[in-house]
Structure 1
Amino acid sequence: MKQTLADGRPSVVRTWPPAAQSVGRARRLLAGYLAAWGLPQITEDAQLILSELVTNAITHAHPPFGNVIATRFERLADGVRIGVHDAGDSRPEPRRARVDEESGRGPDLVHALTGGAWGLGDRDGPGKSVWAVCTGSQDEVRS
């Protein structure tokens, strides 16, 4: 659902079932809006960030049956603010994953891709909102 924020910036909110196929669908939706907003250069990083946040919500939040995950994309002057809302109480925390572990690196990856511009936000109702800001300037940080 397209919305306009109080300051006039475009915003898109969509709900998803807590299922693996929601990750790809959310990525495609985000890519479409980034193209429409003239931000195709950040699509790869933004999709990876979104994948990590949605996957984390699906894997760790364990929402009760019937609850959904929501994504919010807010257009910024130089990028996008990605929010993922779920009803779970678990909080993403960076940790040192062992070399042989296949998971556990999501928060570190999001931190690297955003230059540290991510965190937890307030949410109406139970659960949490995890947000991350993706702009073209993160490429300079990683260089």
Structure 2
Amino acid sequence: MTAETAGSGAESPLVVVKSWPHGPCSVGRARRLLVRSLAAWGLAHLSGAAELVVSELVTNSVRHAREPRGHVIRTRFERLGRAVRIEVHDASDGKPEQRDASGDEESGRGLALVDAITGGRWGVSDREGIGKMVWALCTDDGSEGGPAEELGLGPG
């Protein structure tokens, strides 16, 4: 599978879209594609935070978006100035919600981590067709990159 890209000329594309099989191996593959994209965009310094975000979002999709069967997970990475918008699309209508996991729970902290890393710049939106899109924005410091409208912070 190759990533679909949109951009102009010989420059690195500003958008990278890829479909993934519904399985745990897709988490690491999506993470590696994002890191390569960030490096090409001159945003390698965002890799640590962005890797955690995409790992959490793709993992959630693999774990919780099992129905309807036979559908793939799709990631979309978009360079927005000094920021990257990360989207994970799946065919499940179930919307993830941030919760407070107790100290002895082994899971349940993923969206709290995404919220902390992105400074609250994440959300869940319907998408064309079935399913949902979960998006998050990683920036240099949680605020750089311009007004919310310019960054595409909304449902997009």
TM-score by length of 2: 0.83
Which residue pairs with 1:124 in the alignment? 128
- Letter matched to residue 38 of structure 2: L
Aligned partner of 1:4 in structure 2 is 7
Q: Deviations over 1:21-50 (max 9, x none)?
A: 000000000000000000010001001000
Paired residue secondary structure (1:130): strand
Paired position in structure 1 for 2:153 = none
Structure 2 residue 115 is the aligned partner of structure 1 residue 115: no
Residue 50 of structure 1 aligns to a residue whose secondary structure is helix
The match for 2:40 among 30, 36, 44 is 36
**One-letter amino acid of the structure 2 residue matched with residue 36 of structure 1:** A
Q: TM-score, normalized by length of structure 1? A: 0.90
1:36-87: CA deviation from partner (whole Å, max 9, x where unpaired): 0000100010010000000001111113332000000000111100000001
Cα separation, 2, equivalents of 1:42 and 1:138? 11
Q: CA deviation at 1:94?
A: 1.1
Instruction: Please provide the CA RMSD for this pair.
Output: 1.8
**Take 1:19 and 1:70, find their aligned partners in 2: how far apart are those partners?**
12
Match of 1:73 in 2: 77
DSSP 3-state at the match of 1:103: coil
Unaligned runs of 5+ in 1: none
Task: Identify unmatched segments of 5+ residues in structure 2.
Answer: 145-156
CA distance in 1, matches of 2:128, 2:143: 33
2:137 paired residue number: 133
Distance in 1, Cα, partners of 2:71 & 2:58: 14
Q: 2:91 aligns with which of 87, 94, 97?
A: 87
Q: Does 1:103 align with 2:100?
A: no
- Counterparts of 1:50-65 in structure 2, within 5 Å, are 50-65=54-69
Quote the offset at 1:139 in angstroms.
9.3
2:25 paired with 1:21: yes
**Segments of 4+ in structure 1 off by > 6 A?**
none
Between the aligned partners of 2:100 and 2:120, the Cα distance in structure 1 is 17
